Amino acid sequence: MAGSSSCDIAIIGAGIGGYVTAIRAAQLEMSVTLIEKGDVGGTCLNLGCIPMKALLASTHLLRKIRQSEDFGIFVKDVSVDFKKLMARKDTIVNTHTNGVKYLLKKNKIRLVEGKGTIASANRIHVEKVDKTEENISAQYTVIASGSEPAEPSNIHIDRKRIVTTDEVLRLDDVPQSVAIIGGEVMGLEFAEVFNALGASVKILEKTPSILPSLDHDLGKAIHRILKKRGIEIQTDVDIESVNVRSDERARIKAASSGSELELDVDKVVLTERKPFTKDLDLEKVGVQLREGSVVVDERMRTSVPNIFAVGDVTGGRTFAHLAFAEGIVAAENMAGMERTMDYRTVPTCVYTSPEIASVGLSEEAAVKLGYNVSIGRFPYMANGRASTLGEREGFVKIVSDRETDEILGVHILGPNATDLIGEATIAIRLECTSEELGRTIHAHPTLSEAIMEAALAVSGKSIHI
């Protein structure tokens, strides 16, 4: 016989969307039960953002060491202990997982370990890991079940030679050759890691360019940089099949620009993910889905008034910081505070070397929407701080409305781009003009001066170019 309990809010999924919703709701003095069938922290903390960035920190340092002679420093006999590199990653993940558990306890959030299914608009049935069952009654339900790897029918995923993003961060050694299917954010970051560790890397992207969702200039520039490092990039690729051969290598059959492509590699990495909605019984209670994603309004409410959804399960861009923001909005709406999401100011970050960051409209998107645009651009080779760091590749590009001078988008390729994009995000949120941003005093020498100079360049007033 199943036990029972009640609370104000029951949340399925303890990833960043779920636990942020829980903490904000607890701050607003609502009782919260958080249900998680796997590891607290979800994909981002355990299989995505944090472990990936830990590996990238190691490979960025390795790349720097290999360039140390440019700084007058000579290092001999550099080697990589892959197991220790992976152990460092695991230590970081465990530290942050324990940190989230501490925050849940501190905020008096009840954590239930088990698989949750929506039984009705106000009740969740949980099959707990200890083999018992529980029915949880709640005024509000939040779906924060995240995403899972997409598994196309024409690809035989054996979890050994052909792997998804769930397995690739648990490898025991570095493969000699890797094919990465997908040239978006995750694909480029995996390519960066494997390339730095000595693997032969190929990126296969189905669209005409890598990073197709970002400003075209960013994709074009990073394509050139990665190619110079020996990473092969093939675009307009239509995958026909991927299978494991008898010699334990993986074979990819595809078409590209009208030509047949056949490729044998040690490892194939699939980067595409999809919303996780299976076994939740959402349709039974009337939650509307669109192409597998939970449909929500700007308040994160689903088609069922007391059921909300946040994060990857809602489709669109699968960013942890977006799930964080949606969780705050959802919690505050459930507490009676009228809040809406502002999707204009969601930054995209790519932790390659150099980094890429973008917020707002690309030049192409702005023109398509009917804006008459002005463009300001400033190269890092003209920035003093970039020169001292030995990081002169890249640029800052600002897209502004020619009529009002309001900044529509900011796009950065260069050192610390993912940190610098915060300034640009604030500028767009506050409807700042390029004139205002350009006249804001920036410390010297800093990388942020490139943003100031790009803003000045919109009206042809940049000083250092």
Widest pairwise Cα distance in the chain: 75
Kindly give, in sequence order, each residue whose CB lies less than 8 Å from that of residue 462, ignoring residues fewer than 6 positions away.
376, 378, 453, 454, 456
442 catalytic? Reply is no
Bridge-based pairing state of the strands 250-256 and 237-244: antiparallel
As a whole number of angstroms, the distance between CA 233 and CA 27 comes to: 48
Task: Measure the CA–CA gap between 5 and 8, rounded to whole angstroms.
Answer: 11
Q: Which two tokens stand for residue 50?
A: 């944090």
Q: How far is CA 59 from the centre of its chain?
A: 19
- Report the distance separating Cα 352 and Cα 334, nearest Å: 38
Cα angle 449, 454, 455 (rounded to 5 degrees) comes to 95
337 and 33 Cβ atoms separated by less than 8 Å: no
DSSP character at residue 41? B
Contact 166, 160 (CB under 8 A): no
Q: Which of 60, 442, 444, 464 is catalytic?
A: 444
Residues contacting residue 207 through CB under 8 Å, at least 6 positions apart: 183, 235, 236
What are the respective helix, strand and coil percentages of the chain, to the nearest 5? 35, 30, 35
Three-state SS at 439: coil
Q: Name the residues annotated as catalytic.
A: 444
